Amino acid sequence: MGSAVAVIVLIVAVVLVLILIGLFNRFVRLRNRADNAWAQVDLQLRRRYDLIPNLVETVKGYAAHEREVFERVAQARTAGIAARTVAEQGQAENALTAALRQLFAVAEAYPQLRANESFRDLEQQLSDTEQQILIARQIYNDTVLAYNNAIQTFPGVLLAGSFGFSARDYLEVEEASRAPVRVDFGDLPGQQPAGEQAPPAEQAPSPGPPPS
């Protein structure tokens, strides 16, 4: 009888150990996926930071007096590079996106700048990078969701803290900053470059008398 109980206890202990090992390994895999997803976000953010100085210098060549806008972009870029947490990164990216929108708003007033090949190329690269950031951020947040669910639901919630696993922050972006930074400098119907006025519309001929 005693040996049977010992065998049962041993089996239960082995099962519990296997469950613990399985949970631990699952937590590690999900954490590593979150780390990898964040690395992809960071890669695209660094590419964005690298594009901004050249973009600002190009705009400066036509609108050097817009110092406040340039300083705001530079400060937001510096804050993004210096961010140490996901929450700080999100705040910095929101500020940077708002500053870049102001920069492009300035550029709209200069037809020669809009026609500058270098500027248009930088604008396109930045727009492409913004799209990649959107994708990378979504993948990261989805991965963090899976990780947080694993450590905050039963049975993981009973063990995650003991194993040193804690919930992670999502990369939050304000609603106004969700769309990529993109300004269309194409010739839009009904719009004229700054400083130019649209030619007066031709007056339609007066209608003739109605038929008898």
Q: Which residue ranges form the domains of the chain, and what is each CATH number? A: 7-177 (1.20.1440.20)
- pLDDT over 70, % of the chain: 82
Q: Which of 123, 137, 55, 56 is nearest to 90 (CA)?
A: 137
Contacts of 112 (CB under 8 A, 6+ apart): 62
Q: State yes or no: cis peptide before 180, omega within 30 of 0.
A: no
Inform me whether the pLDDT recorded for 75 exceeds 70. Answer: yes
Mean pLDDT of 107-120: 93
* Structural contact between residues 73 and 100, judged by C-beta atoms closer than 8 angstroms: yes
Inform me whether the pLDDT recorded for 204 exceeds 50. Answer: no
Report residue 180 as tokens: 């990529």
| pTM (global) more than 0.75 | yes
Lowest-confidence segment of 88-97, 116-125, 147-156, 193-202 by average pLDDT: 193-202
What radius of gyration, in Å, describes the C-alpha atoms of the chain? 28
